[in-house]
Amino acid sequence: MSANSRLTIAAHALTWIGLYQRRGHEVATSEQIATSVNTNPVVIRRLLGEMRKAGLADSRRGAGAGWMLARDLAAITLLDVYQAIGAGPVFALHRATPDPECVVGRGLGPAMTAVYDDVEAALCRELANVTLEDVLRDVLRAA
């Protein structure tokens, strides 16, 4: 099993666009962003398409095509990005139904669901408290 990096890549792309725009550029290409992320531009286009649907990014076609922020970095939280990528639940129950005759098999689902709901709520609270402006500040401080 590997961890999902879509939130990190989406936050990277949006933060990069924000910094690029602050430096006087109107739009950023998928290729430019992909170079920073070290991934294929198609990955960036797909993620930014999701960001566009969520109202976090916008795009321009034709001459001068590229991506721009739809909102200021200070108005985009990590929760906004998390919800935009449709990450789904952090944890899941068994894919197959456990043995209903087993006390653990029968009771584990409800017990774990309560824990997972609390974990998801805590995650969302934390993500809501961090803007991409905060992320950029920390990135620049570490540079």
Average pLDDT over residues 89-114: 90
pLDDT tens-place string over residues 23-38: 999 999 999 999 999 9
Core vs surface per residue 45-66: b (16+ CB within 10 A) or e? bebbebbeebebbebeeeeeeb
**What pLDDT, on a 0 to 100 scale, did the predictor assign at position 118?**
95
Give, to the nearest 10 degrees, the angle between helix 6-22 and helix 132-142. Answer: 80
Q: State pLDDT tens for residues 26-71.
A: 999 999 999 999 999 999 999 999 999 999 999 999 888 999 999 9
Q: What is the mean pLDDT of residues 126-143?
A: 97
Q: What is the pLDDT of residue 1?
A: 42
